[in-house]
Amino acid sequence: MKRYVPLVMLLWVCCALHAYASASDLGYSVSTKGYALGGISAHDHAELSLHWRPAGGAAAFSAAVAVPAGDRWLLDAVASAGIEVVLYSHAEHLFTDLFTRESRYAPSVTVSTGMTVSASSPWFLAAGIDPLRFETGGGYLSVLAPTWYLPISPRQQMGWGIDLVTFGFYLRGSHDV
């Protein structure tokens, strides 16, 4: 079953590239995160994600690579693919005064799958919540988003992680111009 993960991730990337010509939003995000899961480096990770959000949709599909600090950064990189759903969006929130531009409180949930690049790594499923996510301008800011990891291998234990800070930006499609 583990051999199908790269195929699924490649499918997500192909969908995102195809979406560039036909969808409303193509974007990217950069984040810092940490993992507490066997088989994944305990170092801090920097993640780069590509996102595609269909026209008028609250869900965004993503493909990501998280690279750890340290000497084995290439072998310990984590590749993942998933979907994020914004639960709702509200203009008047407690943190309005922290933003210089108009902002919207937009919490989300995420479900994904992934694995490390090394052959001996566990393949995992992940579920996360993003309770402190704010949209402003064409992008978003998120802080302290926890994620729970369930390895597919029966020998591995459940784990957790946290996205410390995430900055994302969506490029508008041709219909918005």
Domains of the chain: 2-20+27-172 (2.40.160.20)
Residue type, 145: A
24 and 176 in contact (C-beta within 8 Å)?
yes
Residue type, 68: P
**pTM: predicted TM-score of the whole model, two decimal places:** 0.72
Rg, Å, the chain Cα set: 16
Per-residue confidence of the chain (177 residues) as pLDDT tens digits? 455 555 555 566 555 555 444 546 888 889 988 777 766 766 788 889 998 888 767 788 999 998 888 767 677 788 899 999 988 776 776 666 666 667 778 899 999 998 877 766 668 898 999 998 888 877 888 999 999 988 887 777 788 888 899 998 888 643 332
Sort 15 into a burial class: Cβ within 10 Å, 0-12 / 13-18 / 19+. Answer: middle
d(CA 172, CA 77): 30
